[in-house]
Structure 1
């Protein structure tokens, strides 16, 4: 990355921008955020049905629930990576999570209208993804063993589920901030996030159902009609990410947060209050010194 010039345009909203200004300038980013979570939900529903529907041939081939959970983790980690690296993800920043957008807003990297419209689009996109999944998959998606991949606290109860969601939020934002704001690590933030998602699915699905994303949880709950401990999924990931952001600013300073993109390439337009170009500037060679 340090050997290539940064050519991307920065198209951040001005502080006085109106709603009409935001939509006119950033409507592609808002659309992409919705489509990203739609794709994530479609993937979750498809792989959830394939791996856990009681009459699926995969259940016969792999009767071990642990093995199928590992496969689910790999599938969803791969899905997250594909979304982050897609043209949509590179353009919008690949939040596809209201908690991520709200955290970057609190860090001062997003305009309030961008945060509002990102979050709105994410909720709409998540629900749209489940609708598409229902059309494509049919009644199997509503079966007791799949239930629209709804997230509910596991056998360990609500307190441990809360801690799991809080911990995932804390660790995820810590990894994103520590990696995306460093020259070498910024090139693999997408991989680190994908590995985290895969690990979370495997380790924490039995504990909390693995949400980390209120829009993801509500999208499933709308169709499953299951709202168990919804407050947990609305608060725990957010508190974890906000704590991670606060600690990062405390020890590194607010100027250390360069952008709100999960993965920042050098060519895709940036809608945020971005200073990533500073990180991407080539260092002077020995001959110039």
Structure 2
């Protein structure tokens, strides 16, 4: 209990940032999704091709993710904004137990509040079909392809994060690569599963909509996929080559995972 209270006192800004990050992501998803898929939207009536709609949606979500990760707040918390990411870094012993716990709690809270904000602002166009709070449900091919799709994209995403974030020449590009993957996932994978890859993101839409179709796969697949990527990384490269739980470790921002204003490649900043 003392450790929990101490973690809250010391690290509450990072917890709030995680809520803010996923909240912003869900606001963007809700707004872009509504203008693209609500039948009475002028943009929907202009962009009628489903593939082009996914391209625009992907660009919107990919750029939003990049902006969150490159933002000063994102650099401070590490911009996990995904329980599967946090659990993977916990498995790798790169985030403390109570920090992981509160990261995940605040991710769920932030995602839900983001959806509520969009619902209050846009009302029926967002809350009614076909947008339906931008819920993630399996596509026409069913549950198994959705499960495999969610698993595969999670493996690729975490594999990329672990590799690039621990390479001196590539670490600054990790958010960019993550954003590019999100764009491609929305375009190519979303017809299979709706593109969740994030339990908190899926629950954020499911709670107000009441649509819980195959909710289990949006927990199982992302977590299993990212843990698989972590195990492969450990086997192929090793634990010593994992330096921090941040997706992009900027030495100008405090890090609750490896030390205040300490960068693992610049010890002279101590």
Class of the TM-score when normalised by the shorter of the 2 chains:
over 0.9
Q: Would you say 1:257 and 2:242 are equivalent positions?
A: yes
- Name 1:65's counterpart in structure 2: 50
Q: Which of residues 206, 225, 231 in structure 2 aligns to 1:240?
A: 225
- Name 1:180's counterpart in structure 2: 165
- Name 1:285's counterpart in structure 2: none
Q: CA separation in 1, counterparts of 2:266 and 2:224?
A: 31
TM-score, normalization by structure 1: 0.90
Give SS of 2:216's match.
helix
Which ranges in structure 1 are unaligned for 5 or more consecutive residues? 1-15, 283-289
- Name 1:277's counterpart in structure 2: 263
Question: Does the aligned pair in 2 maintain the 1:49–1:146 contact within 8 Å?
Answer: yes
Q: CA separation in 2, counterparts of 1:125 and 1:115?
A: 15
Shift of 1:232: 0.3
Provide Cα deviations, 1:53-89, integer angstroms capped at 9, x if missing partner: 0100011111111111100000000000000011110
Q: CA separation in 2, counterparts of 1:138 and 1:177?
A: 40
Provide Cα deviations, 1:80-123, integer angstroms capped at 9, x if missing partner: 00000111101100000000000000000010000000000000
- Name 2:80's counterpart in structure 1: 95
Shift of 1:17: 6.3
Q: CA separation in 1, counterparts of 2:79 and 2:59?
A: 19
Provide Cα deviations, 1:238-262, integer angstroms capped at 9, x if missing partner: 0010010011111111111100001
Q: CA separation in 1, counterparts of 2:87 and 2:227?
A: 9
Question: Does the aligned pair in 1 maintain the 2:251–2:262 contact within 8 Å?
Answer: no
Provide Cα deviations, 1:20-44, integer angstroms capped at 9, x if missing partner: 1101110000000001100000000
Shift of 1:265: 1.0
Q: CA separation in 1, counterparts of 2:41 and 2:239?
A: 50
- Name 2:65's counterpart in structure 1: 80
Shift of 1:138: 1.3
Q: CA separation in 2, counterparts of 1:161 and 1:230?
A: 11
Give SS of 2:102's match.
helix
Give SS of 1:277's match.
coil
Q: CA separation in 2, counterparts of 1:36 and 1:137?
A: 20
Shift of 1:273: 3.3
Shift of 1:156: 1.1
Q: CA separation in 2, counterparts of 1:191 and 1:277?
A: 21
Q: Which of residues 180, 184, 193 in structure 2 aligns to 1:195?
A: 180
Count of residue pairs brought into register by the alignment = 267
Q: CA separation in 1, counterparts of 2:135 and 2:241?
A: 37
Q: Choose 1 or 2 for highest CA Rg.
A: 1
Q: Structure 1 residue runs of 4+, over 2 Å off?
A: 273-282
Q: Would you say 1:50 and 2:35 are equivalent positions?
A: yes
Shift of 1:229: 0.5
Question: Does the aligned pair in 2 maintain the 1:259–1:276 contact within 8 Å?
Answer: no
Question: Does the aligned pair in 2 maintain the 1:212–1:237 contact within 8 Å?
Answer: yes
Q: CA separation in 2, counterparts of 1:54 and 1:276?
A: 51
Shift of 1:279: 3.1
Which ranges in structure 2 are unaligned for 5 or more consecutive residues? none
Question: Does the aligned pair in 1 maintain the 2:147–2:217 contact within 8 Å?
Answer: yes
Question: Does the aligned pair in 2 maintain the 1:81–1:190 contact within 8 Å?
Answer: yes
Point out which structure has higher relative CO (alpha carbons under 8 A, 6+ apart).
1
* Residue range with higher mean Cα deviation, 268-277 or 175-184: 268-277
1:16-27 equivalence runs, <5 A: 18-27=3-12
- Name 1:134's counterpart in structure 2: 119
Kindly report the root-mean-square deviation, in angstroms, between the aligned alpha carbons of the 2 structures. 1.5
Question: Does the aligned pair in 2 maintain the 1:258–1:276 contact within 8 Å?
Answer: no
